Amino acid sequence: MLARKNLQLNEHGDLHHLLAIEGLPRRIIERILDTAESFVGINEREVKVVPLLRGKSIFNIFFENSTRTRTTFEIAAKRLSADVVNLDVARSSTSKGETILDTIANLTAMHADMFVVRHSESGAPYLIAQHAAPHVHVVNAGDGRHEHPTQGLLDMFTIRHYKKDFTRLTVAIVGDVLHSRVARSQIHALTTLGVPELRVIGPRTLLPLDAERLGVRVFDSLDEGLKGVDVVTMLRLQNERMSGALLPSASEYFARYGLTPQRLALAKPDAIVLHPGPMNRGVEIDSAVADGAQSVILPQVTFGIAVRMAVMAILAGATR
């Protein structure tokens, strides 16, 4: 893991690639969140563009489809005045047999400055970062079950916006933690930022076996786990999990783990509810909660643009 950690930082200790939250020093996480604060104001102006990355070419390379994440990266890059090229690689070169590294070499020959990479295989962005030209920056936009660092960062931005101080919070992550790259990034970020109590709640079959060893409290009862929490993150229940032996049915899942107003009432009165989207209403979350006063799901999306702008601006300013 040590080589992976170092890969993200240049010799000055600045962020050169964003591949994972794991191994990121607290000062870098906080710098990204602080910089994002300034971009929030830009996004509220009539002219939502700054010239910071003028002339830079950013390639969104999505080996796995994701319209939402790709769109937020695209908006972020455009608001920094970068030129953005979207590549739906899932449907092009790789299906003709080209390797990832050949795809990357070709794009580098087109003078790319930054790659935003989504891949179904954990570690794919590392492979690309290892082989990228020295001036090229890589952002992990989600790799397999591993991490989704910009989602983790925007979750931190959202939590900080509403709760200010991480060191007094109890945070619960509910659902399929085992298969969730969002959960993994969140757990690393929350731990680094000093959250004293972190809980994971879900069916035992969907929770990491070693969670307790990592200092995370494990609950298989949602009612028990929600008591007194400040922040609840609901994870999307991926439909493909339903087909295996891991879960009985969507309706039974909702009955046991769906977040309803009655259950949310067990948390602190001012608790906030996060969801990385896309939501399955009536599966992991009740519409009354998703659209309710404690939901910060849409602010997450808005803040996500500012956080991605901050990541790209900081990376583009780092040199090898």
Partner 1 sequence: MSEHLLPDAELLFATLKERMAPAIAYDARLVGVYSGGAWLADRLAAELDGEHPVGYIDVSFYRDDLATSGLKATVRSTQIPFSVQDAHIVLVDDVLFTGRSIRAAVNTLFDYGRPASVQLAVLVDRGGRELPIAADYVGAPLIVARELMLALDRHDDGTFVLTTEPWKAR
Where along the sequence are the contacts to partner 1 (CB under 8 A)? Answer: 12, 14, 31, 34-35, 37-42, 45-47, 49-53, 313-314, 316-319
Give the bridge partners for 115, in sequence order. 59, 138
Beta carbon nearer to partner 1, 58 or 237: 58
Q: How far is the CB of 307 from partner 1 (least distance, A)?
A: 14
Instruction: With beta carbons less than 8 A apart as the criterion, state whether 308 and 152 touch.
Output: no
Closest-CA residue to 162 (of 302, 294, 304): 294
| Own/partner long-range contacts of 294-299 (Cβ < 8 Å, ≥24 apart) | 294/264, 294/270, 296/158, 296/162, 296/272, 297/273, 299/158, 299/161
Q: How far is the CB of 310 from partner 1 (least distance, A)?
A: 9
Beta carbon nearer to partner 1, 31 or 256: 31
Beta carbon nearer to partner 1, 77 or 283: 77
Q: How far is the CB of 313 from partner 1 (least distance, A)?
A: 5
Beta carbon nearer to partner 1, 273 or 314: 314
Q: How far is the CB of 314 from partner 1 (least distance, A)?
A: 5
Beta carbon nearer to partner 1, 113 or 230: 113
Q: How far is the CB of 76 from partner 1 (least distance, A)?
A: 13
Q: How far apart are CA 12 and CA 289, in angstroms?
A: 45
Q: How far apart are CA 44 and CA 54, in angstroms?
A: 20
Beta carbon nearer to partner 1, 38 or 262: 38
Say how many Å lie between the first and final Cα of the chain, rounded: 21
Q: How far apart are CA 258 and CA 256, in angstroms?
A: 6
Structural element, H or E, at residue 124 = helix 124-131
Q: How far is the CB of 73 from partner 1 (least distance, A)?
A: 18
